[in-house]
Structure 1
Amino acid sequence: MFRFFFFIIFFLVNNNAEGNPDNYSEALEKSLLFFPHVVKIVLLSHGDLTGGCNDAGENVKFNFPTAFTATMFSGSTVEYGWGMGSQIQEAQVGIRWATDYLLKGATATPPARLYVGAGDPNVDHKCWERPEDMDAVRTVYWVSHDKPGSEVAGEIAAALTAASIVFHRADPAYSRIILRTAKKVFKFALKYQGSYNSSLGSAVCPSYCSYNGCKDELLRGAAWLFRTPNSIYYNKLIKNLGADDQLEPDIFSWDNKYAGKTIKLARRALLNHDENFDQYRQEAENFVCKILPNSPNSTTQYTKGGGNIYDKKIGANIKLPQSNLQYAGSTIQQNYLTIL
């Protein structure tokens, strides 16, 4: 549910801004009213790591998809906050619930650790119970210089950076804190590169394995940091990390974020008229053409309702066999480009 919530923000605000006669404002209000209470119900205590969100129906937390959701939630608020009216405060409440938890994981003692999960997925997946009834010992997981996890660290950096923009005016002190932490986490991800698959094993796999390496998360984190003040360093870093590589993604998810990086950099060409970023604008347009129905370059096929995305190459199988609603994010990226 937490991963899907960003879709509601994008969809409702976008349609409301376009003058759609349906009452999307009320729907947005109800969604934002519902969301924080659902998240608070799953509150568990792990010493200093209180908060966050459980995965599905189990009492286990995975910070990799949580950070992705927080990035998308903040990103939607940054881009569409102007159309949210009084609901912007409710959105900030939801974002802060996520970033407060991620902030704790990045600053908890002992130092030089980044906490990225809690609970035993192999046990918890077998036992669905109310969080209020859960009394088992909670195992916590972390990455460090000798147990790297650049994917999750890069995405946490992106989430905190995006949120710092949301709170730039609403709470400048908090904005500075999370941006400062984001830069430290990103520096760690960059300096100690490696997959958290190897570092944490069954604590994250197969539930939330990183299947395509950490380069996309590093690029995404750098792209968000590039949007902050005094960020020339990150522009150069984006080039050094290989952002110019000719990648042609047709998917966008909690694991594969190359399209997200491309859309973020294309924004500069479209809004700032920076010709140095025209390549990303073209790549973003190619991505849109691959996910649009009836496009001659489309590599996807939708159901009649448009809810699920299928891969023509493998027939009737959903692109990935689980959580296919997440691919609504690809369509939302398309809507974002049309508004720009």
Structure 2
Amino acid sequence: MSDVSGRFVVAAAVVAVSLVVMASSSAAAAAHDYGEALSKSLLYFEAQRSGRLPYFQRVWWRGHSGLTDGLEQGVDLVGGYYDAGDHVKFGLPMAFTITMLSWSVLEYGEEITAAGELGHALHAIKWGTDYFIKAHTHPNVLWTQVGDGDSDHYCWQRPEDMTTSRRAYKVDAENPGSEVAAETAAAMAAASIVFRRAGDAHYSHLLLHHAQQLFEFGDKYRGRYDASVEVVKNYYPSSSGYKDELLWAALWLHRATGRRGYLDYAVANADDFGGTGWAVSEFSWDIKYAGLQVLASKLLVEEKHLSSEQRAVVEKYRSKAEYYVCSCMNRNPGGADHNAGRTPAGLLFIRPWNNLQYVSNAAFLLTVYSDVLSALAQPLRCRSEDDDDGGAAAAVAGDEVLAFSKSQADYILGTNPMGTSYLVGYGERYPRRVHHRAASSASYQHDKEFIGCLQGFDSWYSARRENPHDLVGAVVGGPNAKDVFTDHRGAYMQTEACTYNTAPMVGVFSKLMELERRRRGEDAPPSSASPVAEDL
């Protein structure tokens, strides 16, 4: 596919906003190179690839792995992504990663293209969607996991040396999994828009075909996926159930197809499925409510022919989206009961384990919602959940929402009490002992001597020395509630990175890069696709 950037069209217009300079307690925050952060973020996904690596692979210290995945079950499941520092391929977080990567490109594709990174972004998405196509072997069958978390965690091996179980697990009509089916449908629907805009109509159509089948499967055969695939319960259980994923997938399919039936589904089930009822303070691979509420809010900008009934329901979605945004900004009335937690330095803090996943997802949703506010020429109105029926609301300007998102991104990039960048490879100080089997071990490219299951614990995991390879672009779990970070492989709640931590930052860095360019009064650079785009 040639001249990708020349045909890549982003529907939303770029809205000029004020760039607010954030200040730390002692001095103005240092400026960051968001273009560099964007480039490194996309590089990270290459380190997480499973399968036979392409010739244009840039992360040289990785090799082919998982080449017999699915063989035992008679299906080709080679490819896809490892979610974190281990080697299990978990379907739900992988699909969420692809949804968020696709959403980033859909919102900020012009910025990504101008940075010369569109080809790498498309490759990152396609590496996931190619795998989903393989995993969706029949209309009502989706292979949702390869590997076993328990046996995998007993070993510290490079992916090229794996000796642990590669058993594959599926959901089907008798053993349903609505969450993973619907999230995979959302990912493929969102990606279908990306590739349609990029000029690849055939691949876009293929993705949309699978997305529609998967949504129908997840909706017709409803059931929790962790009840059907019990081995996932200790790693990616579904605490919110599957109704949020069904609404989320319906909205993405409406965007991808324009069909009213999907919008009608999201409207008709809004109350019963919690879409207009859940007021939440987090957005993650598990809990999609805030994301679908922000996505629904975009209909007020993009959908010109909403009926009065549809508009009323969409406004209810928007009310809950504003609760989430206000909660992140600590602007809801009612104190701690209605607002997300913060560290002393102002970082959003939801949970001790991998907290930056919630921060990166919040930064993205707030960035997108600030665009919604700008397009509607309206402020954010903050009221507590109990005041939905007309209580007084504090008005917050849209550029203040974007400024808060920027403050979270800048914290991740090093504007924090420890002066540490939590994006690996960015800045002078960043985590050097990331909890990651491949990055902490000798490169298979240079040392093909087999590393046994327990040998890696003695040789690499327990060693105090730095990892031999930087996991460039990975967003690690981050500091604790007191802004303190421990750079040690054993501190996995802080030093393990996940694909869904980095995916939303692709969009955030792209937006901030463009704003910084405008602030400096620079002309937009000529659009140029990455050379690897033609290999898609």
Which amino acid in the other structure matches residue 207 of structure 1? Y
Q: Which residue of 2 aligns with 1:304?
A: 344
Q: SS where residue 141 of structure 1 aligns?
A: strand
Q: SS where residue 39 of structure 1 aligns?
A: coil
Q: SS where residue 168 of structure 1 aligns?
A: helix
Pick closer, same or farther for the CA change 1:30–1:237 going to 2, 3 Å: same
Q: Which residue of 2 aligns with 1:100?
A: 130
Q: Which residue of 2 aligns with 1:169?
A: 197
Per-residue deviation, 1:230: 4.0
Pick closer, same or farther for the CA change 1:140–1:283 going to 2, 3 Å: same
Which amino acid in the other structure matches residue 269 of structure 1? L
Ranges in structure 2 where 5+ consecutive residues have no aligned partner: 1-13, 22-30, 51-61, 373-536
Per-residue deviation, 1:241: 2.4
Does residue 140 in structure 1 map to residue 168 in structure 2? Answer: yes
2:244 aligns with one of 204, 216, 220: 216
Q: SS where residue 250 of structure 1 aligns?
A: coil
1:285 aligns with one of 312, 318, 322: 322
Per-residue deviation, 1:34: 4.0
Query: Matches of residues 260-271 of structure 1 in structure 2 within 5 Å?
Result: 260-271=291-302
Larger gyration radius, structure 1 or structure 2: 2
Q: SS where residue 197 of structure 2 aligns?
A: coil
Does residue 258 in structure 1 map to residue 305 in structure 2? Answer: no
Query: Matches of residues 159-238 of structure 1 in structure 2 within 5 Å?
Result: 159-170=187-198, 171-201=200-230, 203-238=231-266
Query: Matches of residues 148-163 of structure 1 in structure 2 within 5 Å?
Result: 148-163=176-191
CA distance in 1, matches of 2:121, 2:178: 28
Pick closer, same or farther for the CA change 1:43–1:32 going to 2, 3 Å: same
Q: SS where residue 282 of structure 2 aligns?
A: coil
Percent sequence identity over aligned pairs: 38
Q: TM-score, normalised by structure 2?
A: 0.55
CA distance in 2, matches of 1:279, 1:166: 28
CA distance in 1, matches of 2:282, 2:43: 30
Q: Which residue of 1 aligns with 2:277?
A: 246
Runs of 4+ in 1 over 4 A off after TM superposition: 16-21
- Give the conservation status (yes or no) of the 8 Å contact 1:58–1:127: no
Which amino acid in the other structure matches residue 133 of structure 2? L
Which amino acid in the other structure matches residue 44 of structure 1? G
Q: SS where residue 143 of structure 2 aligns?
A: strand
CA distance in 2, matches of 1:89, 1:143: 33
- Give the conservation status (yes or no) of the 8 Å contact 2:109–2:118: yes
CA distance in 2, matches of 1:281, 1:237: 17
Mean Cα deviation higher: 327-336 or 160-169: 327-336
- Give the conservation status (yes or no) of the 8 Å contact 1:151–1:195: yes
Q: Which residue of 1 aligns with 2:504?
A: none
- Give the conservation status (yes or no) of the 8 Å contact 2:147–2:164: no
- Give the conservation status (yes or no) of the 8 Å contact 1:291–1:331: no
- Give the conservation status (yes or no) of the 8 Å contact 1:58–1:124: yes
CA distance in 2, matches of 1:74, 1:173: 17
- Give the conservation status (yes or no) of the 8 Å contact 2:276–2:317: no
- Give the conservation status (yes or no) of the 8 Å contact 1:269–1:281: no
CA distance in 2, matches of 1:122, 1:18: 49
Q: Which residue of 2 aligns with 1:90?
A: 120
Per-residue deviation, 1:197: 1.6
Mean Cα deviation higher: 86-95 or 267-276: 267-276
CA distance in 2, matches of 1:95, 1:234: 24
Which amino acid in the other structure matches residue 238 of structure 1? A
Q: SS where residue 135 of structure 1 aligns?
A: coil
Per-residue deviation, 1:17: 9.1
Q: Which residue of 1 aligns with 2:66?
A: 44
2:109 aligns with one of 56, 66, 81: 81
Pick closer, same or farther for the CA change 1:17–1:119 going to 2, 3 Å: farther
Q: TM-score, normalised by structure 1?
A: 0.85
Post-superposition CA distance 1:76-123 (Å, at most 9, x none): 111111111221111001011111111211137xx7421000111111
Ranges in structure 1 where 5+ consecutive residues have no aligned partner: 1-13, 311-317
Which amino acid in the other structure matches residue 29 of structure 1? S
Q: Which residue of 2 aligns with 1:322?
A: 353
Q: Which residue of 2 aligns with 1:333?
A: 365
Post-superposition CA distance 1:188-210 (Å, at most 9, x none): 00000001121111x11121110
Pick closer, same or farther for the CA change 1:18–1:63 going to 2, 3 Å: farther
Mean Cα deviation higher: 205-214 or 33-42: 33-42
- Give the conservation status (yes or no) of the 8 Å contact 1:148–1:193: yes
CA distance in 1, matches of 2:144, 2:299: 31
- Give the conservation status (yes or no) of the 8 Å contact 2:240–2:287: yes
- Give the conservation status (yes or no) of the 8 Å contact 1:57–1:128: no
